[in-house]
Amino acid sequence: MCLCPTHGMMAGMDPKPSDIVVAGADGCRAGWFVVMRHLATGTVEHHTVPTFAALLDLCAEVSAVGLDMPIGLMDMVERGGRPPDRLARERLKPHRSSSIFSPPCRAALACATYEEAAAATRARSSTGGSLTLQSFGLFPKLREVDALMTADWQRLVHEVHPELSFATMNGDRPLEVSKQKPGGQALRIEVLLAAGFDISAKSVKRLARAGVGRSDVLDAYAVCWTAGRIASGVAERLSGHPAVDSRGLKMELWV
């Protein structure tokens, strides 16, 4: 398996617009659900891969990947999480700010149980920081990403939050209805349609199957849209201080 990013081109060659392919990936019970989009034609491909290593191999030659999973972890716990997490919550007020959770510190990620991880979090917080069960539930996927991500891979793979993508698609207005509700899913399909995707409730239902939920499909489409903005040079980067973690990974979110 090749784990060297080629960034969609041979050295010294710029891709023609018709060559640009981007991808969006969301973690799911089956592994990772991936939407790959050809920017010139708008056509998409769908893949489900079991591991993050397989995702990197699948996407090694695309121009940009939007990943719905934190990249870059803090060593100490700060109120509100990493700087880009705080900026994202401000951007998503008043309806979707709660969708941004604070990733764990790296020491907590190494713990086997919730109790151990919560204790490691408290030990590295001066403000009584705590670890949510939602965050702990993502530890397997977070470990996959943290084990393989490098500064070189981060030139290709970019952290994207789907609610930021949907808000930007929606004229910089956060969506009012949760994606867990049928009306919220219908609204997200409408927003994706307006953004140029050929998607419908029927196609989302067809793509969702064992280990892949409808919200996983919608989120992968959303972060794929932002990957297209990154490849086109029009995306915005949310970041702050400190910008780089102890492993040299940038802590940033793209919209």
What is the CATH number assigned to the segment(s) 19-72+156-232?
A: 3.30.420
Which residues, other chains included, contact 163 with Cβ-Cβ below 8 Å and sequence gap of 6+?
92, 96, 99, 100, 174, 175, 222
Domain spans, the chain: 19-72+156-232
Cα 54 to Cα 40, 47, 83, 113, 230, distances in angstroms: 26, 11, 30, 27, 22
Which residues, other chains included, contact 240 with Cβ-Cβ below 8 Å and sequence gap of 6+?
82, 83, 84, 86, 87, 251
> Digits of tens for pLDDT over the chain (255 positions)?
445 464 443 333 344 555 899 999 999 999 999 999 999 999 999 999 999 999 999 999 999 999 999 999 999 999 999 999 999 999 999 999 999 999 999 999 999 999 999 999 999 998 878 898 888 999 999 999 999 999 999 999 999 999 999 999 999 999 999 999 999 999 999 999 999 999 999 999 999 999 999 999 999 999 999 999 999 999 999 987 768 999 999 999 999
- Beta strands 21-28 and 31-38, pairing class: antiparallel
- Which position has the token pair 């990403």? 145
